[in-house]
Amino acid sequence: MYTRLSDSFIHYPITNQNHLDLNSMKELPESHAWLSLDDSPSFGSSVPDLVHVINLNDPNVMTLVGHACKTWGVFQITNHGVPTNLLEEMVEASRKLFALPIQQKLQAARAPNGVSGYGVARISPFFPKLMWSEGFTVVGSPYEHARKLWPKCYTKFCDVIEEYKKEMNKLAQRLMSLILGSLGVTMDDVKWACLQGSSPALQLNSYPACPDPDRAMGLAAHTDSTLLTILHQNNTSGLQAHKEGIGWVTVPPIRGALVVNIGDLLHILSNGLYTSVLHRAKVNRTQHRLSVAYLYGPPSNIQISPLSKLTDKCHPPLYRPVTWSEYLGAKAKHFNKALSSVRLCAPLNGFADANDHSGVQVG
C-alpha cells in the first residue's frame, strides 16, 4: 500500500495528454467541444439559498460553518487572515507561468504517473472530450519543476509558493478546528489534526479565454479527494457548485474572499454527515481565468475513518479506513464511484452512495 502522495498515481498513468496551446486557438476544436453541459438548472421559480459567505470573526462562526458543511459542502470565507498581497502575488506568479510558451511549459510536464508538474486535469481520462484548461501541480518542493521553467530565475516563484502554502496551512488548520468543533469533536480528539498536513498540494489552474465558451468545459464536475480545499478564484466567475434539487449554482467571486470546498475525506471522517461538494469550472469568451486551489489532507501515514464519537450501534461506520494517497488511487481508478469503493455497508435506501453523484451528469 502506498502512503506517499507522490506515489498515488503510480498504477494510473495518464497516457494520452493532448497539449494544445489553447491561448492561440481562434476556434473551438472538436476535441474540446462538449455535447451537453447539463446546464438544466437551476432554480425554477424560487430564489435559491445561495452559497453562504461566512465572516470568520463572526461570534457564531462554528455553527455557521457546520451548517454550510451539512447543507452545501461549500462556503466562502471573509476575514480569513491571508494577506491580500500574497493572494495577488500568487496569481501573478501563476500568470507568469501560464504565459510561457507551450514548449517551455512542457519542460516541466507532469510524468504520466506523477503528481507534480504541468499538465491536463488529472480527471481527463474519464471524459470523452478535453477540457479548456491547463494546470500546474505542486506537491512538496516546487524547485525541481520551477528550475525547468526558468533555469535562471526560479527563486521568486518558489518563495511565493512556499509562503502561500504556509499561510494556507494555518488557515486550513483553523478551518479544521471549526469543522471538527461543529461536529462536537476537538482537535485533541483527533491528534493528527494538529499536525502539518502530509504534503498538501497546490493546484494552479489556467482557463484561457475561449472562442466558444458555451460548448467548452474548463474543469468537469468532480469532488475533491481532500479533507478540504481552499480556492482563490481571483475575481473571475467560473466556479459552479451542484446542489441536489437545485442544480448548478455559480459561486460568485467576492473580492478578498476565499472558497472552501468540503472534500471526500471529510465526508468519510464525518461518517457522511458533511457532504463533499460536486463542482466544476466554466470558461468565458473574454477573460483568462486563473484559480489557485490549496488541497489539504491528513498526514500521509494516517488512515482516515469515521470519527468514533460519531458512530454507535445505530450509526455504524460507513467507510473503511483509507490513507489520502490510497484514496487518490481509488479516485484515479473509479472517479465518481470512489466513495462507494471504500464504503462498508449499503446506504439505508439501497441505492449507491448519495455522495458518489453517479446520478448527476458529470460530462
Question: What is the residue-wise DSSP string for 190-255?
Answer: SGGGGSPPSS-EEEEEEE---SSGGG--SEEEE--SSSEEEEE-TT---EEEEETTTEEEE----T
d(CA 43, CA 245): 9
Instruction: Find out whether 280 and 248 touch, Cβ atoms under 8 Å.
Output: yes
Which CB atom, from 224 or from 353, has the smaller least distance to Fe ion? 224
Question: Which residue of the chain is nearest ligand AKG when measured via CB?
Answer: 291
C-alpha span between 236 and 1 (Å, rounded): 40
Q: Which is nearer to ligand AKG, 134 or 224 (CB)?
A: 224
Q: How many residues bind Fe ion (CB under 5 A)?
A: 1
With CB atoms as reference, the residue minimizing the distance to Fe ion is: 224
Which residue out of 255, 289, 320, 343 is catalytically annotated?
289
Amino acid at residue number 11:
H
Comparing CB distances to ligand AKG, the nearer of 296 and 319 is 296
Residues binding ligand AKG (CB under 6 A)? 203, 205, 219, 224, 231, 233, 238-239, 279, 281, 291, 293
Nearest distance in Å: CB 300, ligand AKG:
20
Residue 353 as a binder of Fe ion (CB under 5 A): the answer is: no
Provide the 3-class DSSP secondary structure of residue 296.
strand
Site for Fe ion contains 356 (CB under 5 A)? no
3-state secondary structure of 30: helix
DSSP string, 66-130: HHHHHHTSEEEEES----HHHHHHHHHHHHHHHTS-HHHHHTTBPPTT-SSEEES-TTGGGSSS-
CB of 316 vs Fe ion, minimal distance in Å: 30
- Contact segment (CB under 5 A) with Fe ion among 8-16, 156-164, 173-181, 223-231 equals 223-231
Q: Are strands 74-78 and 53-55 parallel, antiparallel or unpaired?
A: parallel
Nearest distance, CB of residue 233 and ligand AKG, angstroms = 5
Q: Can residue 224 be called a binding residue for Fe ion (CB under 5 A)?
A: yes
Question: Closest separation between CB of residue 256 and Fe ion, Å?
Answer: 21
- Give me the least distance between CB of 224 and ligand AKG, in Å please: 5
Q: Is 31 helix (H, G, I), strand (E, B) or coil?
A: helix
254 vs 310, beta carbon nearer ligand AKG: 254
Nearest residue (CB) to Fe ion, 264 versus 353: 264
CB nearer to ligand AKG: give 116 or 205: 205
Q: Cell 496551446 identifies what position? A: 21
Grid coordinates standing for 243?
446542489
C-alpha span between 347 and 345 (Å, rounded): 6
Determine contact, residues 73/277, Cβ cutoff 8 Å.
yes
**215 is annotated as an active-site residue:** no
Span of 1-9, 159-167, 220-228, 266-274 interacting with Fe ion by CB under 5 A: 220-228
Smallest separation, CB 108 to ligand AKG (Å): 18
The nearest distance, CB 57 to ligand AKG, in angstroms, is 25
Look at residue 292 and give the partner it binds from Fe ion, ligand AKG, none, a contact being a CB closer than 5 to 8 Å depending on partner kind: none
If we measure between CA atoms, which residue out of 229, 132, 130 comes closest to residue 176? 229
Could you tell me which stretch among 39-47, 149-157, 217-225, 321-329 binds Fe ion (CB under 5 A)? 217-225
Question: Binding segment for Fe ion among 77-85, 182-190, 221-229, 283-291 (CB under 5 A)?
Answer: 221-229
Contact 301, 323 (CB under 8 A): yes
Q: Which residues make beta-bridge pairs with 78? A: 55
Contact region with Fe ion (CB under 5 A), list: 101-109, 128-136, 180-188, 222-230: 222-230
Element (H, E) at 161: helix 155-182
Of the two residues 223 and 325, which places its CB atom closer to Fe ion in the complex? 223
Which residues are tagged catalytic?
Answer: 289
Q: List residues binding Fe ion (CB under 5 A).
A: 224
